[in-house]
Chains A and B, each alone.
Chain A
Amino acid sequence: MFCLVSILHLGERFSKRFSHPEEVLWYSPGCCQDDVLENSREDFQRIPELAINPLGDRIINAFFPEGEDQVNFRGFMRTLAHFRPIEDNEKSKDLASSEPLNSRNNKLLFAFRLYDLDKDDRISREELLQVLRMMVGVNISDDQLGSIADRTIQEADQDGDCAISFSEFVKVLEKVDVEQKMSIRFLH
């Protein structure tokens, strides 16, 4: 997944966010105490730049699997792995091996799940409206937002169920450079 140095750096940041800062993680090659420390939702919410992000809550949610309120370092890294850039040698890999978390498909799935509030694998009009409301706040009227949602679903919907399934979502975004836009490069 990540190279060791990035893991060390992320571990440093992760453990500093931890609610009890006196406990310092010892990361070293071979012994990764990655399930000792856990961060809670509040620890994430304390990051000011995330708190002002309109979709901050949805992004924090992506770190917490169903019903859990703590995330350990392993889980944290697994979510972050979606944003690892795709390297050239990975592209040519045969598809027989299991798909890496940072593949185009998984990046898109990550974004899809931000919209899919009830996790039923389709974005209904209601869900789209709710996410739109998070993004625009009180600045756009219900009517206008409704028509935006209708138009978006109309453009994407192919099977006429008034909702966007994952395959329809992929189809709409096929021209977008997902590999680049959903990747974060490490400095080192």
Chain B
Amino acid sequence: MSSLLPFDSLLCNLLGLSVTLWITLLLIFIIVPAIFGVSFGIRRLYMKTLLRIFTWATLRIERGVKENSHMLYKPLTNGIIAKDSTSLEEGIWDLRGNGRSLDKPEFELSDIFYFCRQGMESIMDDEVTKRFSAEELETWNLLSRTNYNFQHISLRLTVLWGLGMLVRYTFLLPLRIALAFTGVGLLVFGTTLVGYLPNGRCKEFLSKHVHLMCYRICVRALTAIITYHGSENRPRKGGICVANHTSPIDVIILASDGYYAMVGQVHGGLMGIIQRAMVKACPHVWFERSEVKDRHLVAKRLTDHVQDKSKLPILIFPEGTCINNTSVMMFKKGSFEVGATVYPVAIKYDPRFGEAFYNSSKYGMITYLLRMMTSWAIVCSVWYLPPMTRQENEDAVQFANRVKSAIARQGGLVDLLWDGGLKREKVKDAFKEEQQKLYSRIISGNQENRSRS
């Protein structure tokens, strides 16, 4: 036994040394920059290098394809077929030709062509369901092997892909996991500690900085490279911040630049521990599962929070579900009924470095986080838009749509009227009835109908 002792003490020494080294490195490179919100620019350099490699890989693919006289598969980001977006009325009149006058409403056998073509177009390429699966890329980002052109490219690219994988899994992943644990651990520890302080300015100040520091560590755990635009419009107290929703990490991205009150449901497990610790330090609005169903209670608690001007701005994702960052879907009107100033925020991810979209029907949370941590980086832009308030002649739905189109315009996203809830549910029959009503108006000479059109 005694002969083993030197090795034991050596082991202990090594362990102690590595822990000290880790803490020192953490302090210098992560925690200190995180507290002051500065960056050494390592991540930007990394991003630029990656972009150069991607460009080279794309060139190689194109050359390889040309040499083998294969066809290059390129996904079309604007849809695969030519659609003419005419309304039902225009479509039918166009079908009947100009010979007929509009005053003679009647049915024609050829009207079916309109519905038929519309139906086929939506089968080939529809606007909604493609928003619920990962966006297609124009260039290959060396992440997956699912690129159609991959199978006939050179050995050098395969080696590069293998090297990339080695770096991502053996270097980046452990580093990121360690950072994530440090960040979350510090958040729970820090907020619990701050929670014991008496209410006052000191507590508020400390709470703010603990939150910001921990979120900045989490941002580094995902190697997120975020560009914030329009910081003068950053949400202020007594307002509601609404943003488009792509993934759960939206929260971390926004919260690492501002101090928000979160709204959400109380979860179990690790999330529950974090939530309980956070609520001690500052007033987040958590709902029990049973309370979420009660719309009035939710609205009342939101209104109470907003009316207290000393409280933090609320962060809300009114789409209610994650969309793949190519479009913005219908905003639920609840948060627009409260009557507070709305601070719209547009978030646009760069899908080349890693797919940020959280496809909850496909992966669980842990798988998703692992995918995030093994991708190259999370690169995104955040735009703070000028605050908006509800106008006198507007109802909540119109206001919600106005905010939505502002976000869509800024983020370069498609503005859709469809409900994101269609991911799980079927369309309401009312929409079909609307189409039937429009068509009836065309084929019946009903006076009442015509006066409305």
| Interface residues of A, Cβ cutoff 8 Å to B | 4-6, 8-10, 12-13, 16-17, 21-22, 24, 27-29, 44-56, 59, 80, 83, 110-111, 114-115, 131-132, 135-140, 144, 148, 151-152, 156, 164, 169, 172-173, 175-178, 181-182, 184-188
Give every chain B residue within 8 A of A48 (Cβ-Cβ): 126, 128-129, 418, 422, 427, 431
**Contact between A16 and B129, CB atoms less than 8 A apart:** yes
Size of chain B's interface in residues, with CB distance under 8 A?
Answer: 61
B24 within 8 Å of A (CB atoms): no
Tell me how many residue pairs across A and B have CB atoms closer than 8 Å: 175
**Contact between B439 and A135, CB atoms less than 8 A apart:** yes
A76 smallest CB distance to B (angstroms): 9
**Contact between A53 and B439, CB atoms less than 8 A apart:** no
Q: How far apart sit A49 and B439, CA to CA, in the bound complex (Å)?
A: 16
Give every chain B residue within 8 A of A136 (Cβ-Cβ): 436, 439-440, 443-444
* Interface 9-residue window, one of B104-112, B170-178, B229-237, B271-279: B104-112
Determine the residue in chain A with the shortest Cβ distance to B118: A53
Q: How far apart sit A16 and B124, CA to CA, in the bound complex (Å)?
A: 11
**Contact between A29 and B437, CB atoms less than 8 A apart:** no
Which of A54, A173, A178 has the most chain B CB atoms closer than 10 A to its own CB? A54
Give every chain A residue within 8 A of B126 (Cβ-Cβ): 47-50
A159 smallest CB distance to B (angstroms): 17
**Contact between B80 and A187, CB atoms less than 8 A apart:** yes
Q: Is the interface of A mostly helix, strand, loop or mixed?
A: helix
Q: How far apart sit A28 and B146, CA to CA, in the bound complex (Å)?
A: 12
B409 within 8 Å of A (CB atoms): no
**Contact between A59 and B109, CB atoms less than 8 A apart:** no
Determine the residue in chain B with the shortest Cβ distance to A47: B126
When A13-B125, A47-B126, A187-B82 are in contact, do A181 and B117 touch as well, CB less than 8 Å? yes
B70 within 8 Å of A (CB atoms): yes
**Contact between B109 and A184, CB atoms less than 8 A apart:** no
Q: How far apart sit A29 and B71, CA to CA, in the bound complex (Å)?
A: 9
Q: How far apart sit A10 and B130, CA to CA, in the bound complex (Å)?
A: 12
Nearest 7 Cβ contacts at the A-B interface: A137-B436, A139-B440, A49-B122, A59-B119, A136-B440, A9-B80, A51-B427
With beta carbons under 8 angstroms apart, the residue of A12, A47, A139, A177 that contacts B128 is A47
**Contact between B80 and A182, CB atoms less than 8 A apart:** no
B153 smallest CB distance to A (angstroms): 13
Q: How far apart sit A52 and B422, CA to CA, in the bound complex (Å)?
A: 13
